[in-house]
Amino acid sequence: MAKQNIKKIEILASINDVKEIVDLVQRKGIIELSDIPDDNLVDKLSTSQSFGFYEKYLNEVKNALKTLDKYCPKSKGLLESIIPQKDNISLAEYLKNADKANAYLGYCYDINAAEKQIEESATSIARCELVLENIEPWLDLDIPMKYSGSKTTSVFIGTLPENYSSETLKTALLPYLGDEDRYECEIISSSGKQTYVFVICHNECKQLVYDALRAIGFAYPSDPTKHPPRVRYERYNKQISDLKDKSDKALETIKDCAKYRRDIEFAYDYFSLYKEKYSAISKLAVTENIFILNGYITEENAKRISDELEKKYTVAINITDPDENEDVPVELKNNSFNGAVEGITNMYSPPGKNDIDPNPVMAFFYYALFGIMLSDAGYGLLMVIGTAIAKSKMKLEGAMKKTVDMYFYCGIATVFWGALFGSWFGDIFEVVAKNFFGVADLGAKINDTLGFTLFRSGIALWFQPVQDPMRLMRYSFLFGIIHLFAGLFASFYKMWKANNKIGAICDVIPVFLLITGICPVGAGILSVNVPSQLKNAGLIMAAAGAVLIVLTAGRDSKNIVGKLGLGLYGLYNTASGWMSDILSYSRLLALGLCTGVIASVVNTMGTIPQNTVAKACLLVPVFIFGHVVNMAINLIGTYVHTNRLQYVEFFSKFYEGGGRSFTPLKTNTKYFNIKED
């Protein structure tokens, strides 16, 4: 039984031990807490304030780590960047460091303050630079920009649109001022479409000159200086360099703190554990002297934790069976071979209350079908090697370990089928043998050398799908029928165990008879030589099955017409449903061919040149690039279609889903694994 027996656990203990016991429960990670409703008998602990504090601390730490990643990124290996690795620390070390968590938080405050400083400096610098940009054209002016003249003179300092020199300005003003020399001007600077001018005239013609200037678009600067522009320019330059100093210093602080990265990571784990712990504590109920913890636990863990708690604390522990209509979580326990596909099942839905654990039934088929669809031993070998390296070099846990395991077994299946179908990176061995060693038929040559027929066709141990697609199609249907029958018998087992023996017999046996009976005829249509006696026997069997379906499918109906109607409908449903389900397995052929043919095309393209050296030079890059792309695309396709066959064809035979995964309170850490001594 792969579905674990879940019990309800109730722990009562002295309120003084609440923190220690919750700590222990969290470290063990085997109890899923359930909320105890607030009523007249018990109170709830208010933890929202502490929870809020820890959430705030956690955010500080998160931001600090983000800043560290920005300025002093940690160098990671290739594998590590795909699968993050955790360090192990002992419980003693954890507790020792826990006291320092507040100090570690201090580093985070420093880092965040420094980062804030850097950001603010950057904004201020940008603002100052804008001012500098505005003042630059005025730098040659050696009086304040606000200067408007002496007792007898008037001064206009401002900008004119368009590019003027003293002469062209004079010409431009000619229509307004006439020939007379009424003003003196100096072009401070000009840039493309603007001219920065200083114009002086006698007070008497102040208005005249001003109007003339206005007429050609004169404007006062928006932010004139009280001192000569250079003074402001230098002041802002100084400000910028001060800001840069500040920002550099802040960066220095951050870089200094980089050596505390490990501590900060520790603080991250520490505060996230506390956050979770406090949200767990809010589920407890308390009275003046005791607290009550309610939850779900697997049967095998229940005994162990009660022993441990009873030894250490004064507790009362109640272990009971959950009620019939309670929302009990599901915990699965499988060996590595079967457990590896748990992720696939959970993606559909964890097993519901009445379901059996589908993983042991489906694991073997999952790998086998995956292998037929990917069907290239070379790609399979790469998967096996890749996952084996990941398994040996890295600490994998939980879902990640299962995924890696799954691809490992899928890889083995792929190598198996690929060898049967003679596809190793397409036909690379044959292509190389033919193009570089002049061996036209590699398989035949090896057979000759060995003295017996190892390879039946090409280098296939069985047959090459491209040579005989119909054959693979027939086998695809056969594998499909076997897969579906496995599902059918799983449903038999499930109903039988649920004491629905009539259902088990009536819903499974007739379908089995019908489908098995039709098989010889179906095989005949697909041009298999079937003896007519077998065909006839099959037809009798199928007829018996059909009659049984008509008789039993409507057994829930009250009257005879309803029984018959539902029976006929059931027959139609079964026949059409199974037909389309079985046909669906033709995708095994389609995807298998797709991988093999495209892989061969890659090899063919690599050997286009006539010259042997050119061939070799082209083949290597084409081989690497082509097969990487082909493998990636086909891996995704295969994964998707294997899932589809499991979900749509297989699961529909017996699996309902709708369960809820067991989510115990545990030490959900990101950087460290806390190991109990």
Partner 1 sequence: MNLTMGALLAILGGVIAAIMGGVGSAIGVGTVGQAAAGVVSEDPSKFGKVLILQILPGTQGLYGFLVAFLLLVQIGVMSGEIIGGDTGLTVSQGLMYFAACMPMAVGGLISAMYQGKAAVAGVGIVAKKPEESGKAIIFAAMVETYAVLALLISILSIFSITSIITG
Q: Which residues bind partner 1 (CB under 8 A)?
A: 344, 347-348, 466, 469-470, 473, 583-584, 586-587, 589-591, 593-594, 597-598, 601, 633, 636-637, 640-641, 643-644, 647-648
Buried b (16+ CB within 10 A) or exposed e, 407-436: bbbbbbbbbbbbbbbbbbbbbbbbbbbebe
Minimum CB–partner distance for residue 343 and partner 1 (Å): 9
CA 128, 129, 134, 137 torsion: positive or negative? positive
**Distance in angstroms (rounded) separating the CA atoms of residues 471 and 308:** 62
Are the C-beta atoms of residues 221 and 158 closer than 8 Å to each other?
yes
- Quick one: 65 or 591, whose CB is closer to partner 1? 591
- Quick one: 333 or 474, whose CB is closer to partner 1? 474
Are the C-beta atoms of residues 230 and 143 closer than 8 Å to each other?
no
Minimum CB–partner distance for residue 594 and partner 1 (Å): 6
- Quick one: 528 or 640, whose CB is closer to partner 1? 640
Minimum CB–partner distance for residue 347 and partner 1 (Å): 3
Minimum CB–partner distance for residue 587 and partner 1 (Å): 5
What are the C-alpha distances in Å from 234 to residues 139, 198, 229?
10, 22, 9
- The residues pairing with 316 across neighbouring beta strands, listed in sequence order, are 12
Minimum CB–partner distance for residue 468 and partner 1 (Å): 9
Minimum CB–partner distance for residue 171 and partner 1 (Å): 56
Amino acid occupying residue 449: T
Q: Which is it for strands 87-90 and 6-14: parallel, antiparallel or unpaired?
A: unpaired
- Quick one: 105 or 466, whose CB is closer to partner 1? 466
Buried b (16+ CB within 10 A) or exposed e, 528-553: eebeeeebeebeebbeebbebbbbbb
Minimum CB–partner distance for residue 469 and partner 1 (Å): 6
- Quick one: 106 or 469, whose CB is closer to partner 1? 469
Minimum CB–partner distance for residue 421 and partner 1 (Å): 16
Query: Which are the contacts of 325, defined by CB distance < 8 A and separation ≥ 6?
Result: none
Q: Where are the alpha helices (DSSP H) in 451-531?
A: 469-497, 501-525
Are the C-beta atoms of residues 272 and 668 closer than 8 Å to each other?
yes
- Quick one: 8 or 615, whose CB is closer to partner 1? 615
- Quick one: 126 or 470, whose CB is closer to partner 1? 470
Minimum CB–partner distance for residue 348 and partner 1 (Å): 7
Q: Where are the alpha helices (DSSP H) in 178-218?
A: 206-215
- Quick one: 103 or 640, whose CB is closer to partner 1? 640
Minimum CB–partner distance for residue 326 and partner 1 (Å): 24
- Quick one: 450 or 636, whose CB is closer to partner 1? 636
CA 626, 632, 636, 639 torsion: positive or negative? positive
| Structure tokens that stand for 506 in this block | 């009536």
Query: Which are the contacts of 643, defined by CB distance < 8 A and separation ≥ 6?
Result: 344, 347
- Quick one: 7 or 587, whose CB is closer to partner 1? 587
Beta strands in 147-215 (DSSP E): 153-161, 183-191, 194-202
